[in-house]
Amino acid sequence: MVRTTDKLKNFEANYGKLEELVKALDAPDLTLKESLDLFEKAIKLSQSCESALEYARQRAQALAEVHAAGQDTEETAVPEPEEGTLDL
């Protein structure tokens, strides 16, 4: 099983390979077996890319939630009065 961080590192390369496979599938001189082999490779690369994108979405969502939670506590926090002043 490939680690998710490895999938993220390889996303661009895998996406490029996927684009090449899609172009190759358009070739009119492919045999049925060649087409199926290319299609199988494309499906595997597509799944790898989708997995990396899903991980990235989840990570971005988690970071956005942490950021939003940090802003909520800043907005609701009562500021400390300055030293030597009355907090009325």
Confidence class of residue 36 from pLDDT cuts 50, 70 and 90?
very high
The total number of residues written for the chain in this structure: 88
pLDDT in tens, 47-73: 999 999 999 999 999 999 998 888 766
Q: Which two structure tokens, joined as six digits, stand for 76?
A: 């609701």
| Distance (Å, whole) CA 19 – CA 25 | 10
What is the residue extent of each domain of the chain? 4-66
pLDDT given for residue 1 in this prediction: 55
CATH architecture, domain 4-66: Orthogonal Bundle (1.10)
